[in-house]
Amino acid sequence: MTRIKAKETESQRWSRLTEKEVSLRGSGYTAIAGIDEAGRGPLAGPVVAAAVILPPGLVLNGLDDSKKVSLAARLRLEKEIKSGAIAWGIGEANHQEIDRVNILNATKLAMSRAIGDLGIKPDYLLIDAVSITADTPFEAIIKGDARVACISAASIIAKTYRDAVMTAFDEAYPEYGFAGHKGYPTAAHREAVLKLGPCSPPNLRSPPPQLVKTCPHCEI
């Protein structure tokens, strides 16, 4: 007889995503930050990390690894995360830092900056796959962006922020097509670099909303 596995409900999926955080809260931790990055593979642009502390009881329907979520869902989730989170922070490492210390160490640098941007000190860190030097207890979880809610939330914030950076780059350098490939090594991007050479990051006169850090609970 063939057994058909019952499809996981959204409620069951959310319980699974928050299981790690619930367990840590049961051990006495109250400010658990999920950390993830975007931009380790591109030819252009910064590597961006985000840190997010979610409150108990918050439900974010459809939350998942940002690579598995549609653009419309990512933008919806970005708003819900920023408005509902206890705190969220962004950190970047630019192309010069990437070239100087390598992409892995630049990623760790961006993650440390994202933690510092939270505004409050977390008491536990859950990081997608990367181990960092920190005075806070942490775990590096393989595929954490699909397994742990706060890491998934960080992946959404990092991805939408970095996409906004690259869209702003596209306005300054439309011939490179940054709005489409976001700096990743597509055939069109490689062709543009061979034809035009490298470009410098532009000075943004009026950054898009995603690039302006505001209080997550205020309209300021």
> How does DSSP classify residue 68?
G
Does the residue 151 lie in any domain?
yes
The radius of gyration of the chain's CA atoms, rounded to the nearest angstrom, is: 18
Q: Is residue 18 part of a domain?
A: yes
Work out the pLDDT band at 216, boundaries 50, 70, 90.
Answer: very low
Residue positions counted in the chain: 220
Q: Report yes or no on whether pTM surpasses 0.75.
A: yes
Compute the distance between CA of residue 140 and CA of residue 203 in angstroms, rounded to an integer. Answer: 35
What is the distance between the alpha carbons of residues 90 and 211, in angstroms, rounded to a whole number?
A: 9
Angstrom distance (rounded) from CA 133 to CA 128:
14
Decide if 190 is inside a domain: no
Q: Average pLDDT in the 192-213 region?
A: 66
User: Angle at the Cα of 145 (from 149 to 62), degrees rounded to 5?
Assistant: 55
In a domain, 117, yes or no: yes
Which of the residue ranges 151-155, 167-171, 203-207 would you say has the lowest mean pLDDT?
203-207
- Per-residue pLDDT band for 191 (boundaries 50, 70, 90) equals confident
Domain count, the chain: 1
Dihedral sign, CA of 116, 81, 183, 102?
positive
The answer to the question of residue 194 being in a domain is: no
Domain assignment present for residue 92? The answer is: yes
Question: Which structural domain, as residue segments, surrounds residue 53?
Answer: 11-163
Q: What is the CATH number of the domain that holds 119?
A: 3.30.420.10
Of the given ranges (98-112, 120-134, 160-174), which has the lowest mean pLDDT?
A: 160-174
**Which residues lie below 8 Å from residue 83, measured CB to CB, with a gap of 6+?**
216, 217
Q: What's the one-letter identity of residue 156? A: I
For residue 79, being part of any structural domain is answered with yes
51: nearest Cα among 30, 73, 67, 35: 35
pLDDT at 213 over 70: no
Quote the tokens at residue 179: 């709005």
**pLDDT value at 204 more than 60:** no
- 46 inside domain: yes
Q: What is the C-alpha separation between 93 and 128, in angstroms, rounded?
A: 17
pLDDT, position 196: 74
Looking at the chain, list the stretches that DSSP marks H as alpha helix, in order from N- to C-terminal side.
Answer: 10-17, 19-26, 71-84, 95-101, 103-116, 149-172, 178-181, 187-196
- Strands of the sheet containing 47-53, edge to edge, are 87-93, 47-53, 32-38, 124-128, 138-141
